[in-house]
Amino acid sequence: MEEEGIEVVLDKYRKAGRILAEIRGEAIEKVKEGVLLLEVAEFVEKSIRERGGEPAFPCNISLNEEAAHATPSIDDETVFGNDLVKIDIGVHVDGYIGDSAVTVDLSGEHEDLVRASGAALSEAIKIIRDGISTVEIGEVIENAIRGRGYRPVVNLSGHGLARYNSHALPTIPNVRYEHGVILTENDVVAIEPFVTDGAGKVVEGGTVEIYGLIKAKPVRVSEAKKLLDEIQKYQGLPFAKRWLPRERLDLALRTLKTVGALREYPVLREEEKGLISQAEETVIVTKDGCEVTTK
């Protein structure tokens, strides 16, 4: 599985999951009308570090039609209102990742939508085991969602987790495809149903607050050189713009993007502005089932 012994590696995945599960519960309690999104994101990220982990990616807080890649800016004054809130948290321990998301309905009007993503996740987890095909997992997720009168988001999926790679292979689809991959014992994957009352597809939109290093490239601009040195500590994992030194930051980011050193993660929104709910857990595949690390 990795250079280290498999049990050592799996224990690091488990530790990341335990840290995440604790913080996720505390974060949910903080999601209330009038509270700053930035306050919750910073609480999550600070708490991860205090408990012996590191953020595997910036705390994602996506509202209503947003699905992913939304995180507050450095001076963000947005507060929670009558919103459908997705909190997506990643924790790593020595690069080994736990990834989990929940949906909080502050309006109290969309509980069926929230339950649909939770039910799809639960049904998928029930069937995961050594030898299961991702085709079967996608079919179970899709049936659970459509059976409740909603649509799966077809161009978002669950994914594998590898060391310093929060979106590794295999892809775990939220719909049934003709071809898939067989999961095997000790695979670590994130199961992540997205459910909508809209078209069932997301598109890019909005500002970019999350970036990732593709590869270090030579640059002449001194600010870009300094930033490149700074972001290499994230080992290719996504990072937030608000984590970075502010001096001529936009110039440095633009320079690194131009030379192909950086990737952007634009906010993903439902194509028809339908509401989206999300549920996610990380599991280790076992011979006869799976172990949920983020419970």
| Residues identified as active-site | 88, 99, 159, 167, 192, 280
Sign of CA dihedral 89, 8, 290, 295: negative
CA 266 and chain centroid, separation: 13
Do 101 and 88 meet the contact criterion of CB atoms below 8 Å apart?
yes
Residues of 155-168 as b/e, b for ≥16 C-beta within 10 angstroms? Answer: bbbbbbbbbebbbb
Do 139 and 295 meet the contact criterion of CB atoms below 8 Å apart?
no
H and E: helices and strands count for the chain? 6, 17
C-alpha closest to that of 51 among 88, 12, 23: 23
Return d(Cα 53, Cα 22) in angstroms, integer: 12
Do 60 and 87 meet the contact criterion of CB atoms below 8 Å apart?
yes
Return d(Cα 152, Cα 274) in angstroms, integer: 12
Neighbours of 47 (CB within 10 A): 19
In the chain, at which residue ranges do the beta strands (DSSP E only) sit?
Answer: 54-63, 66-68, 84-93, 96-105, 151-152, 157-162, 165-173, 188-191, 194-196, 202-204, 210-213, 239-240, 262-264, 268-270, 276-278, 281-285, 290-292
